[in-house]
Structure 1
Amino acid sequence: MTLVRVKGFKIFADRHGRMRCYHRSTNQKIDLQKSPLGSAEFFADCAKISAAALALKQIQPKPGTLGGLIAVYFAEEHFLERSKATKREYRMCAAILEPIKDTPVSSIDTPLLAAIHDKLAKKHSWDKANRVRNFLIQVFKFCIPKGLISKNYAEDVIKKPRPKNTPEAYRTWTFEEVQTVLEAASPQLRAALAMIFCTGQDPSDALEFRKDQVDDAIIWKGRNKTNVGAAIPISSILEIELAMAPAHDAETLLASSKGTPWTYDGFASTWQRLRRKLEGGDKVAPGLTPKGLRHTMATWLREAGQDEREISDLLAQGSKVMGLHYSKNAALARKNRKTMQVWEGEYERRAAKAKLSNPQRKPSNPDKEIKSHE
């Protein structure tokens, strides 16, 4: 039998005497039944596997480079346990840095990062430049103890200030905008937006609320971003909204038009289509975001006289009161119910004011008009 050798491949007879062939670096197998050893098909398969392995090697981050540091961080438990939203954010930052991923670690210092920061601010925005800076702080923080970089050079890069003429990132919604958007939304999107509006939670948190997390009209959950314990009362307004949503078998309280849990990207895409439609028809002012509904609840509660601690407890902000694996805190639930009642009262006041200021206004869909708490 003619001995066949191909660089990068392991060719041998197994314990049963059958010939085997594997690519050494990828352990990819060649089926010698379909491509007999030494045949044209065999050498074609070898060439195809070698080319694919070479292409993969070329795009892999090189050790001792910025890309290598980022790859190390992405394998860290600290990153893997972050919320889905934070992971998306950090991967976006890594994609922005892709053109300079081969920068040697030995050349990384604060002046270099400051120059990159300036360039990103001009090419993208001040906000995106600051996000990349914050991402690099995390990357370097976890690479220093491993001896991969000597200092967290990103910490000394000065953040870009918000330009004076820049609109608020997550501006509050007016009562009329809330009504207009809810009336124009599909039933599934309306339920999702109402959940964010009536709980004051981040969209990524609200979309993941599960049915088994509801007990005695309280949603018990730790926030994705901070793991702060949350005890969120279901207001009568939200109860009505959820009752109007189409029935579904998903484990989550909310579901897409497919009857499956919302993905954040699916929700964001559906929301953007509605926002553009309403802005194009001059139905709402520019700048509405789902996260702005969280700010709206906080603003209404502040205007109603609630203090920061009361607002923080309801919105699951601030210090880690309980953590994700917490025991249910009845005192916190009672306190948040009182805060939610204040919010419902503020909702009723604004609803009445909207009707008085515009008595001729009729809802676009009377059957879907939000009812006030009685």
Structure 2
Amino acid sequence: MAIPDDFDAWFRLLQTPGLGREGARRMLAAFGSPDAALGATAQALTELGGPALAATMARREPECEARLTAARAWLADGAERHVLTLGDALYPPLLLQTADPPLLLYVQGRASLLAAESVAIVGSRDATPQGLANAREFARELAQAGLSVVSGLAAGIDGAAHEGALAAGGTTLAVVGTGPDRVYPARHRALARRIADTGAIVSEYDPGTPVLPEHFPQRNRIIAALSRGTLVVEAAPRSGSLITARLAVEAGREVFAVPGSIHSAQSKGCHALIRQGALLVESAADILEALRGTRPAAAPAETGDEAEDPLLAALGHDPATLDALLARTGWPSAELSAKLLELELDGRVARLPGGLFQRRIAG
């Protein structure tokens, strides 16, 4: 992807000391474009924000120019490196609708995936073995259903969610709190490469930006806004995942939480979310059903598979237990199990937690 002609102006505006995202948006609202904002007269700037704003805009920091040169070099060094400005046609619509969209988004991988149907999966860095298994399984099933999985590449639940989506042959997006050329934690370098190969690494921070603690709560708003819903798998009472859940609510998105033991500290955050109105989920089917209710859906048409395969017809469109299928088909248990395995291997049936089976939903 070519570097946008106005990239330099967007970069310089955003990097203006003391301006920040809010100030930059105010400038854009007043002057119409980053070029016009940077070229505004001292009088116009003083009228907008006083003498301090005029003085700020008059400064040109050498560090800004060095970072701009580095960003352009990174973008030019690879076909799958992109930058999306707030005015770009490819800028993700869901993110554009939020109160605090990034002015620039750097992408390593498939930029088109930022507009794909997706669900965020987040949770504790210090996850339990069961929590990690749950994150992988939810991600795998959601990916099989055609949804992209969004997370933050952090240790624990985030990494497990990315792995689950990749294991299903699906797509996943990692929204990071560093520059797009940095990987944190370092042990996720191989995982980051796999994500970039089939999905995307996304950051609002320019290349070279190091690990800074204040960036991670900021990136959480992007995770929440890119997704139609956010699933919290495990979270302690003060977990950053609860910030993501709050931001999802503020963005008008669904919030889901996996319950756990009342004795586990890593379940207390999820239980708090459930008390506050988050949907308690036990399987990916719960999430898919909730998301179907948030948008108009066409009546399901009977496919060739349904017309020709009696087991798919018996399964219908909701999860079913083995006992229920035995009753519906009247087949011997061994024959039914063999047929279910065949459909599972063909990718037409998904095995859900709790001994349930469900027809896979086309993406």
Same fold (TM over 0.5): no
- Structure holding more strand per residue: 2
Higher-Rg structure is 1
Structure 2 length as normaliser, TM-score? 0.28
